[in-house]
Structure 1
Amino acid sequence: MDTTTAPTGSTTPEFRFRDAVPADVDALVALVESAYRGESSRAGWTTEADILQGQRTDPDGVLALVESPDARVLTVEQGGRIVACCQLEHRGTHAYFGMFAVSPTAQGGGLGRLVLAEAERRSRAEWGATEMHMTVISVREDLIAWYERRGYRRTGRMTPFPYGDDRFGVPQRDDLQFELLVKHLV
């Protein structure tokens, strides 16, 4: 399902929301990497460059999500270019939200809030999900605070970071773990 949303009070082109297709994989990997890793990520506020190096995702992993019957990768286009994305997975009564990325040059203008709201709406409408779950690296206090302002709550439930598995990056510190955040979808 495609939807189009105009940014509030903006004269920029509209955002077009759609599900990713296999032809989008390379653009999605590049977007995620630009938002979190390397020098390009420092143009935005979501960078993980100081805590993780190396890759954040890979084409095989993204393609598996795009092709999964219980998942989708929601993409956002502006002017024909993918500027944001997120992973949604149907997991029984809840949906899982992950691989959230907004182009570093588009961060801070409200696009992230639009993507999160659309992800929640679709999860309720299409899967009947009553909660949204996500995991966030626990040392990312600024990012966790952003989610808390959008109704997510910290659970204190931690899972270990996969040290030694370069598919998730090369940690620059030894205290990384993921915390589960949950929001009740009404």
Structure 2
Amino acid sequence: MSQSFLNSFRVAVPADVSSVVGLVESAYRGESGQRGWTTETHLLDGRRTDEESVAELIGRPGSLVLLMDRADALVACCHIEHQGDAGYFGMFAVSPELQTAGLGRTLLAEAERIARDEWRAIVMHMTVIEQRAELIAWYERRGYRLTGEFKPFPYGQERFGIPRREDLRFVCMSKSLSEVAA
């Protein structure tokens, strides 16, 4: 059986909040995050998200948290939001044990499909911590380009993490969804 038959997508509901938080935390923080390549522990301490923030994303109009299940277990998630003629992509996490299995690429493609086909978005935007060169390169291989714009890191807001450096900021990236095969 091919891997595509083993994965299924669904939109998160309030009952999924704690599972989403657990997955995001495992992918980005602490010891489990260090098993995968998406860890931010060298840049940030503290939490990556919390139940209140995830619940707000699930309940916000024009916003959804997309989940990928494999054999009834949550293995990947992302947040996408409809913003006019654009989509916004964020809170992307894949279980550290499965980060080289192609799940991220598959979930990103589904998020782009939803933005393009259901929201009629023409572009997808995202932000990435500037110091995450390997992650920026991963997105560039999937057609995203640096826009030359930056956004400040929310220093002093511990719900986004406790910075270990004073030079953090976000780079803005975008991808034309007309380039994505329909």
Task: Please tell me the TM-score bracket, short chain as reference.
Answer: over 0.9
TM-score (norm 1): 0.93
Q: 1:72 aligns with which of 46, 64, 76?
A: 64
Q: 2:3 aligns with which of 4, 7, 12?
A: 7
Task: Tell me how far 1:6 sits from its aligned partner.
Answer: 4.6
- In 2, the alpha carbon distance for the partners of 1:171 and 1:36 equals 13
CA deviation vs aligned residue, 1:121-148 (integer Å, no higher than 9, x gap): 0111110000000000001000000000
CA deviation vs aligned residue, 1:55-97 (integer Å, no higher than 9, x gap): 0101011001111121000000011111100000000000000
Task: Tell me how far 1:7 sits from its aligned partner.
Answer: 2.1
The answer for the alignment partner of 1:144 in structure 2 is: 136
The answer for the alignment partner of 2:111 in structure 1 is: 119
- In 1, the alpha carbon distance for the partners of 2:19 and 2:54 equals 10
In structure 1, list runs of 5 or more residues that go unmatched.
Answer: none
The answer for the alignment partner of 1:103 in structure 2 is: 95
Query: % of aligned pairs identical?
Result: 56
CA deviation vs aligned residue, 1:133-181 (integer Å, no higher than 9, x gap): 0000001000000000000000120111011110100000111001110
Q: 2:122 aligns with which of 130, 141, 146?
A: 130
- In 2, the alpha carbon distance for the partners of 1:142 and 1:170 equals 21
For 1:44, give the aligned amino acid. Answer: G
1:30-179 equivalences in 2 (<5 Å): 30-179=22-171
SS at match of 2:3: coil
- In 2, the alpha carbon distance for the partners of 1:175 and 1:41 equals 22
SS at match of 1:174: coil
- In 2, the alpha carbon distance for the partners of 1:138 and 1:46 equals 14
- In 2, the alpha carbon distance for the partners of 1:86 and 1:185 equals 17
Task: Tell me how far 1:110 sits from its aligned partner.
Answer: 0.6
Going by fraction, where is helix more abundant, 1 or 2?
A: 2
- In 2, the alpha carbon distance for the partners of 1:67 and 1:165 equals 22
- In 2, the alpha carbon distance for the partners of 1:40 and 1:47 equals 9
For 1:74, give the aligned amino acid. Answer: L
- Sort the Cα spacing of 1:19 and 1:6 in 2 relative to 1 into closer, same or farther, 3 A: farther
For 2:143, give the aligned amino acid. Answer: G
TM-score (norm 2): 0.95
